[in-house]
Amino acid sequence: MLVLIPAYEPDLRLVQLVRDLGVRLPGATVLIVDDGSGPAYDGVFEVARAAGAQLLRYTANLGKGAALKHGFAWASEHAPGEPVVCADCDGQHTPADIARVAALVEAGTMVLGGRRFTGAVPVRSRVGNTVSRWLFRAVAGSVVHDTQTGLRAYPGDLLEWLQGVPGDRFEYEFSLLLRASSAGVRIVEVPIETIYLDDNASSHFRPVRDSLRIYAPLLRFAASSLAGYLIDVVLLLGLVALGIPLVGAVVSARVVSAVVNFTINREVVFGHEGDRRDAALRYAALAAALLGANVVLMAAFVTAWGMPLVLAKVLVEAGLFVVSYGVQNRFVFPSRRAASAVARPEVNA
């Protein structure tokens, strides 16, 4: 077993964690990836190495996702087939919880150490995790209590897939969850302690910038949907102005906008590498189903329940937007458990 610890500007809690893991998991290899902390942290890393850890270092800060993928690449080469347990360097994960998560590893399964956010939890952490939890539940259709946890365990058969998931910073771990179901990866969650030291002052998470990175897949999907809508409207108006009959103009504009939306979603939003024709057929089936659902729901809200038209439109479109993302992510453009090439930074071991 390998315990992978990405570290950026750590303190002596990293050293203590290495020592404690030597007692709790004496047969495990502890691998620390220094994500460009700089010379000022040489002392901490050298003490951690002296305590028994393997150490990979590079000069530039590439992000947590890049550090994790670099560690997975090292594991694939030096410990093929071994399970990998990922833990943070700042004392949030106890050796006992790391061992509990490690004990549940099995083929094809991602194990999460989920905090329950009891006690004194920083506001930004509580709010961020609540938003992420509900968004994930809405688009993935499954419940994960702690989508932002850094304590995770992976069996050796997932290492190649892990290296192929896009993202180099904090968004990487959320992307793993979004892509897991479509890749056939099972998610198991086990409760762990909720530990925040000094109001989580050691965290390098930037609330605005990193939150935008985490929710980037949903934002790209929203932008793609908006682009399709604008193309639909502009083409419709233009074709009608050219004297094209209304029905023909509506159909033509909708077909063009659907093709553009399909292409953007396949190439940019989901990065799908499967058969284009099969994906197009699934997309067309989804579009037809969504159109039918739109008609039925609008009729029910407005006609049967007397809801104002604008309010009904907003509610229906919002609900179908979430459904559409979840279905496209899981069934239309499913992720494959195959690795893409991983750029390896310069390493000083």
Is the pLDDT assigned to residue 124 strictly greater than 70?
A: no
Q: What is the pLDDT of residues 192-215, one digit of tens each?
A: 887 755 544 445 555 556 566 667
pLDDT at 220: 80
SS3 state of residue 338: coil
- Sorted by sequence, the CB contacts under 8 Å of residue 181 that are 6+ apart come out as 140, 141, 142, 187, 330
Average pLDDT, stretch 125-151? Answer: 71
Assign 326 a pLDDT band (cuts: 50, 70, 90): confident
- Sorted by sequence, the CB contacts under 8 Å of residue 241 that are 6+ apart come out as none
Q: What is the pLDDT of residues 290-310, one digit of tens each?
A: 888 888 888 888 888 888 887
pLDDT at 294: 82
Q: 3-state SS of the chain: helix, strand, coil percent to 5?
A: 55, 10, 30
Is the pLDDT assigned to residue 181 strictly greater than 90?
A: no
Report which of residues 318 and 348 the model is more confident about.
318
pLDDT at 345: 40
Radius of gyration of the chain (CA): 23
Residue 58 phi, psi dihedral angles, 5° rounding = -140, 160
Average pLDDT, stretch 178-191? Answer: 83
- Sorted by sequence, the CB contacts under 8 Å of residue 180 that are 6+ apart come out as 110, 186, 187
Q: Find the distance separating the first CA and the last CA of the chain, reported in whole Å.
A: 20
pTM above 0.85, yes or no: no
Average pLDDT, stretch 159-172? Answer: 85
Report which of residues 271 and 231 the model is more confident about.
231
Q: What is the pLDDT of residues 271-285, one digit of tens each?
A: 777 788 999 999 999
Measured distance CA(48)–CA(16) in Å, rounded: 8
Lowest mean pLDDT among 52-66, 67-81, 117-131, 143-157: 117-131
